[in-house]
Amino acid sequence: MKAKDFDRRFDDGEDVSAHLDPRQARRANTAQKRVNVDFPVWMIEALDREASRLGVTRQSIIKVWLAERLEQASQGSARYMIHDSDD
């Protein structure tokens, strides 16, 4: 089925689930890429303490904290751009 037909059927409220293969479904922007980062020992120790306190892995806490910081930065940039255009 062509995407145009699929979209029309979906928009019309038809059940299109028979045309989907959930085994092939992928979330957008979730591909993984390995990176190596060197941290000072004090930082690793602090990360490990916090990860242990929260009951998660070091990698998990790094990912969560980076994601939070990137989201804050993204929102800050959007606010700046909106504010800047009001001038």
Q: Tell me the two tokens of residue 79.
A: 């606010």
pLDDT tens-digit profile of 10-61? 999 999 888 888 888 888 888 889 999 999 999 999 999 999 999 999 999 9
Residue 16 contacts by C-beta under 8 Å, 6 or more apart in sequence?
A: 6, 9, 10
DSSP string for 33-61: --------HHHHHHHHHHHHHHT--HHHH
pLDDT-based confidence at residue 83 (cuts at 50, 70, 90): low
Q: Tell me the two tokens of residue 35.
A: 């990176």
